[in-house]
Chain A
Amino acid sequence: MAAPEPEAPTTAPARAKDHSPWNWLLFIPIVVPLIPVFFNGDSPRVFGFPRFYWLQLAYILLGVSTTTLVYQMTKKRGDR
């Protein structure tokens, strides 16, 4: 990629502020809910819900916990 070179060294600390290995975790709740083999079935049923429905609703928890974790781990400390 021929993205513009960061010309001034002043930009480096700002970039560092937003880049974190924790961000890679965000791929989990993007990819997992889009794999039909996991959820496209009837059994087991939970409270009468076929797997198709309870598992996809459970993915909401996956999404919430991942974004919360990434937010907490990448939160800027002390400088605001």
Chain B
Amino acid sequence: MWRDHLTEIIVFTFLFLLVSVMGFVAARWRAPKDMAHLDEWGLGGRSFGGWITWFLVGGDLYTAYTFVAVPALVFGAGAMGFFAVPYTIVIYPLVFLVLCRLWSVSHRHGFVTPADFVRSRFDSPVLALLVAITGIVATMPYIALQLVGIEAVLKTMGVTGESALARHLPIIIAFAILAAYTYQSGLRAPALIAFVKDALIYVVILVAVIWLPQKLGGWGSIFDAAEAKFQATAQNPNDGILLNGNNQLQYVTLALGSALALFLYPHSITGVLASRNRDVIKRNMSALPAYSLILGLIALLGYMAIASGVKPLPGSKPGTADANTVVPVLFDQQFPDWFAGVAYAAIGIGALVPAAIMSIAAANLFTRNIYKEYLKRDASPAQEANVSKITSLVVKVGAVACIVFLDPQFSIDLQLIGGVIILQTLPAVALGLYTRWFHRTGLIVGWAVGMGLGMWMLYQVASPTRKHFGGSAFPLSEFGFDTTRTIYVGIVAVAVNLAVAALVTLALRAAKVAEGADGTTPDDYFADEGDPRVTPGAERDADSAREPVA
């Protein structure tokens, strides 16, 4: 019952209201002269320095769902769930130079979305539209999953109801407040709230990793308890505190594939483009792994939950368990009430920051690559900002509707698919930053084949409880190999995508099919803050090659 959790609820509500006020005040923080421009509303004036970018991108990438789902995975499967650590280590050296190029070319041309870049680079509105739609489709379930994170916390506090509406009312209110201040303050709201979110997360995790092992008999016995549990249960042969021969390939390809995908997500790119210069990005690539350390420790909360005998709360259907409640229940058992309230607020607020940035990113994609491209070509910057603000509201209503009216499992499936499909934009967006060798039609065909193959492979993956969409570990035996090893679907799909794109490119080049004009120059990829050749407002989308300037 919720009465037993009154202290937790009061602390949670207080902190939640505090950041809501901050969200509204954020409109005046580093206020621009004119908010009615997409650069201001959607990218915070492209002016964020090292610290703000660190909090913003950190708050954006390490979401509430991650904080709830990663320990849940470790709780259920063991070592496999720890993939999040190598994933968030290899990502930064991987994109260290790539993001600088993206920032430079976007800075000089005023690009707001990755699809803007693709359109200009490959002279192809169709390819840009595909990139934009892929981004929107991959982001939507991600926003819905942030709600799953909040719901896990609310459920643990006993805030539930009989009817679907009563159960979801707190989330609807929370998202209505979030929608209101995102509408008003744009990217400045999550940037400001991210400070509170991260401070809370760091405090909670530091306390958890120092305090809990002492109560549970030290780290050694925590790992031993986990190993004993995995040995005792025989239904999943691949669990355990170490990897085995079958899932090592999956572990490595999942870490690498997730790393390749992360900065293709529109919301990550929004955070990067909002930074002030190339130096800010490079310094952040060195500083952001601090969050990976926190994530690694959070993952281990899954083992602490095993050691303290946590039983997850029942799921929405009878007979199922909601694994996402593992960490909230652990906090409820082990922490004093008021501190559990702080921890829940950290997760709840942790959901707001990425949800705000994701809705802004999805709205920017719609505005720039669908509205301006196909509906109103002569839209003014003020109109663009307005359309984006309204779209961000629509996106949030859609996310809430997904959770209220559909099984949350649907959003989880979609998010799994999202990681695979966003990878299919890698050849156009990431490789496109380095080379224009690929033909635009080759990229489109490669995208289509990669999408189709990825969806088919995901459909084939079974889990102990489900026949299809049971995960992202594809058994290689399906391809006819005589092995029990599994591999991450996304890596296979993007490799085939690249191969097809290359073959079609060669064929089209042999047939001398027109390739369109490159709207960027090699020099664009190195421009920095204060560059004299930044293209102003209306000429931003000019496709014609510019005169070289000495």
Q: A-side interface residues toward B, CB under 8 Å?
A: 1-4, 6-8, 10-11, 14-15, 17-18, 23, 26-30, 33-36, 40-42, 45, 47-50, 52-53, 56-57, 59-60, 62-64, 66-68, 70-71, 75, 80
Contact = CB atoms under 8 A, between A and B. Distances in A.
A71 B283 contact: yes
A3 B289 contact: no
A34 B252 CA distance: 6
Nearest to B293: A60
Contacts of A11: 521-523, 548
B97 interface: yes
Contacts of A63: 89-90, 92-93, 289, 292
B94 interface: yes
Contacts of A3: 435-437
A48 B96 contact: no
Contacts of A64: 286-287, 289
B254 to A, nearest CB: 10
A42 B292 CA distance: 22
Contact of B526 (A18, A45, A59): A18
B549 A4 contact: no
B82 interface: yes
B248 A18 contact: no
B528 A80 contact: yes
Contact of A36 (B85, B252, B530, B549): B252
28 contacts: A4-B436, A4-B522, A7-B548, A10-B550, A11-B523, A11-B548, A14-B522, A14-B523, A17-B526, A18-B97, A26-B96, A29-B89, A29-B92, A30-B90, A33-B89, A34-B255, A35-B252, A36-B248, A40-B242, A45-B220, A48-B221, A50-B242, A56-B296, A57-B296, A59-B85, A63-B89, A70-B96, A71-B282
Interface size class of B (residues with CB under 8 A): 35 or more
Closest CB pairs A-B (n = 10):
A48-B219, A48-B220, A8-B548, A26-B93, A67-B286, A33-B86, A14-B526, A36-B248, A68-B286, A11-B523
Contacts of A66: 93
Q: Which residue, A6, A62, A64, has most C-beta atoms of chain B within 10 A?
A: A64
Nearest to B93: A26
Contact of A1 (B243, B252, B292, B437): B437
B218 A6 contact: no
B417 interface: no
B518 to A, nearest CB: 6
B151 to A, nearest CB: 30
B522 A48 contact: no
B298 interface: no
A47 B300 CA distance: 14
A59 B287 CA distance: 14
A9 B100 CA distance: 22
A64 to B, nearest CB: 5
Contacts of B522: 4, 6, 11, 14-15
A48 B528 contact: no
A34 B97 contact: no
B370 interface: no
A2 B218 CA distance: 59
B285 interface: yes
Contacts, number: 130
Interface in B276-303: 279, 282-283, 285-287, 289, 292-293, 296, 300
B343 interface: no
Contacts of A41: 242
Contacts of B283: 71
Interface in B397-453: 435-437
Contact of A60 (B89, B248, B256, B436): B89
A15 to B, nearest CB: 7
Nearest to A41: B242
Contact of A34 (B221, B256, B286, B548): B256
B100 A50 contact: no
Interface string B227-253: 000000000000001110000100110
Interface string B491-520: 000000000000000000000000000100
A26 B97 contact: yes
Nearest to A28: B93
Given A34-B255, A36-B251, A57-B293, A48 B223 contact: yes
A42 B79 CA distance: 11
Contacts of B218: 48
A29 B251 CA distance: 17
B222 interface: yes
Given A50-B242, A64-B286, 12 more contacts: A3-B435, A7-B548, A10-B523, A17-B526, A29-B90, A33-B89, A34-B256, A53-B82, A60-B289, A67-B93, A71-B285, A80-B530
A45 B152 CA distance: 34
B84 to A, nearest CB: 10
A49 B223 contact: yes
Contacts of A8: 548
B285 A67 contact: yes
A10 B222 contact: no
Contacts of A18: 97, 100, 525-526
Contacts of A1: 435, 437
A31 to B, nearest CB: 8
Contacts of A17: 526
